[in-house]
Structure 1
Amino acid sequence: MKWLLMVFILIPPMALADSLVATRLIRATDVITSGDVVAHGARVPGAATAPDQVIGLEARVAIYPGRPVRLSDLGPAAVIERNEIVRMVYRQGPLMILSEGRALARAGLGDALTVMNLASRQSVQGVVTSAGLVAVGTSAPAIGGN
């Protein structure tokens, strides 16, 4: 048992920080699952080091088998698809206006999204706050803020 402890003490910390690589072709828009990644012995800057960093995220680009899974190539899974009818909400003090619109792109929670108002045919910018709901105007939270 003591020899096992000595092995962990003598191994440099960087050797324990393996990068994750793809086990299969992960296409853009695929959601990463536990079987899609495996630890690899080489440390690659910018690459994920633990499965919990990437599982449930969506690939923004194609990631080929054996290639490092870079955190910059992933993002939150889309909750709104292009051309989906969404509900837009505008809040200003006690005033709240609800309207329907068509999403002009795919988007995940917190992503900026352009929506075409179905009644006026005007395009407005908003932020996805939940599946099928986009905050527009002054009710839209700051992008990147919590």
Structure 2
Amino acid sequence: MTRHAIAALFALLPLTGQAAVLAAARTLQAGTIITASDLRAIDGKSAGLSDPASAIGKQARVTIYEGRPIHANLLQSPRIVRRNQTVQVIFQRGALQVRAQARALSDGGEGDVIRVMNTDSRKVISALVQPDGSLLAGF
């Protein structure tokens, strides 16, 4: 998100003694990636996020109805890996690097630790989701 978009969103914040919180500008279905146009500022009578940067780029975990305050627990990192997806797992120790195919046992976003099953050995391990969709084991 650009600085101009964040500045425009802050310009919408009410100038009252109470801190403004972010609310959904429209109904956001579960799985929606939040953009600046999905947010609006409301008075701070209820709890919720106040910094647009903490919501923009995140994914709605559940449906968030128009006008409802946005809380951190309603958002998650965008899902990069989907359950049952075939993924590449990388195990690295020093100069040794081993790559294997595995099946994801759950969804995961960047930085999440998920369980995967090696398709050859059928062994289940935990792996860290990388930004490119690969998984790092033995971290």
DSSP-derived class of the 1:115 partner: strand
1:92 aligned residue: 93
- In structure 1, the residue matched to 2:36 is 34
Q: Which has the larger radius of gyration?
A: 1
Which is richer in helix? Answer: 1
Instruction: After superposition, give the CA deviation of every residue in 1:19-66 in whole Å (9 maximum; x if it has no partner).
Output: 111122222221111221100023433x11132221110112221111
Letter in 2 for 1:53: S
- For residue 35 of structure 1, give the secondary structure of its aligned residue in structure 2: helix
- CA shift in 2, pair 1:123/1:114, >3 Å: same
TM-score by length of 1: 0.77
Aligned pair count reads: 125
In 2, the alpha carbon distance for the partners of 1:105 and 1:88 equals 14
Deviation of 1:124 (Å): 1.1
TM-score normalised to structure 2 length: 0.80
Percent identity for Structure 1 against Structure 2: 32
- Report if aligned partners of 1:80, 1:131 keep a CA contact under 8 Å in 2: no
1:128-143 aligned within 5 A: 128-137=129-138, 140=139
1:85–1:132 CA contact under 8 A, matched in 2: no
Contact 1:108 1:128 in 2 (8 A): yes
Residues of 2 paired with 1:102 and 1:81: CA distance? Answer: 9
Instruction: Tell me, in whole angstroms, the C-alpha distance in 1 between the residues paired with 2:81 and 2:125.
Output: 16
Pairing 1:49–2:50 present: yes
1:118 match: 119
SS in 1 for 2:130: strand
5+ residue gaps, structure 2, are: 1-14
Out of 5, 20, 23, the residue aligned to residue 22 of structure 2 is: 20
Q: How far is 1:68 from its partner? A: 0.5
Deviations 1:105-139 (A, max 9, x none): 211111011111111122211111222211112xx
Where 2:73 maps in the other structure, the secondary structure is helix
